[in-house]
Amino acid sequence: MRSSNRRAWNDLNQRIVACERCPRLRQYCQEVAQQKRAAYQDWDYWGLPVPNFGDPAARLVLVGLAPAAHGGNRTGRVFTGDRSGDWLYRALYKAGFANQPTSVSNDDGLELTDCAITNPCHCAPPENKPAREELANCSEWFARTFELLPVRVIVALGQTAWQKVTDHASTMGWLTGRRPKFGHGVEAPLDEHRRLLIGCFHPSPRNTFTGRLTEPMLDAVFSRAKAQLELKTFI
């Protein structure tokens, strides 16, 4: 079963990497890859859509926004090579979902256990703001990701991720009635309490430098997620 999951997971990621649906994003990613940042002149930038990362049998799914221009767009792996990733993987390691606390390149040995990471947008967008139609173009990959994984707990990293998850939950019939509002630590049962959505401020420098998100706050989210994975239903 796990080998079947792995094949389907790898096939999905190959399709994501080959995607050419958003000309603006593809042009931007390639321009960044050619121009580079001074600190990374020796790097061969990835410059392609950045695939999902993690365990193809994950019950915990993290949803971000989009790769960073000089992070995932450079390294080829989500939350890798930037400050957001420094915060995220430290917290995942502490909670037991990662085998190491750092992530600097896509061949550094990092592995996730029972955890996977996806984005509503798989290409780095200008000013970190994908257009609505670009998010729509990525919706197939988002939906397919949730079809493949035995999702039990979802952590939405930021407002856009929360909106994307609740949109998908509504489409799937997991969510009826008034939609829950995003907030750090807010929990929303989905799919008749068989799945749980948890809100978390995005670990971007905008939030971490200002103290809006602290390490204890981030750790608490993943401690809660880990505890909830042991439950059959969520109240």
CATH number for position 20: 3.40.470.10
Please check whether residue 155 lies inside any domain of the structure: yes
Q: Measured in whole angstroms, how far is the alpha carbon of residue 179 from the centre of its chain?
A: 21
Selection from 195, 224, 217, 185 nearest residue 87 by Cα: 217
Q: Mean pLDDT over residues 123-128, rounded?
A: 96
Q: What is the span of the domain harbouring residue 209?
A: 2-228
Question: What does the pLDDT read at residue 230?
Answer: 86
Selection from 67, 65, 61 nearest residue 48 by Cα: 67
Question: What does the pLDDT read at residue 232?
Answer: 72
Q: Mean pLDDT over residues 159-187, rounded?
A: 95
Taking only the tens place, the pLDDT of each residue in 193-235 is 899 999 999 999 999 999 999 999 999 999 999 999 988 776 6
Tokens representing 94 are 């502490």
SS3 26: helix
3 falls in which pLDDT band (50, 70, 90)? low
Query: Rounded to the nearest 5 degrees, what angle is found at the Cα of 179, between the Cα atoms of 176 and 182?
Result: 145
Burial profile 21-35: b = 16 or more Cβ within 10 angstroms, e = fewer: bbeebbebbeebbee
Return the beta strands (E) in 76-128 as ranges: 115-118
Please check whether residue 233 lies inside any domain of the structure: no
Residue type, 91: A
Question: What does the pLDDT read at residue 1?
Answer: 45
What's the number of domains the chain is made of?
A: 1
Q: Higher-confidence residue: 176 or 70?
A: 70
Please check whether residue 219 lies inside any domain of the structure: yes
Q: In the predicted model, what is the mean pLDDT of the chain? A: 95
Percent of the chain exceeding pLDDT 70 equals 97
Worst-scoring range by mean pLDDT, 3-12, 131-140, 161-170? 3-12
- Burial class of 233 by CB neighbour count within 10 A (0 to 12, 13 to 18, 19+): exposed
Taking only the tens place, the pLDDT of each residue in 28-68 is 999 999 999 999 999 999 999 999 999 999 999 999 999 99
Please check whether residue 235 lies inside any domain of the structure: no
The yes-or-no verdict on residue 160 having pLDDT over 70 is yes
SS3 62: strand
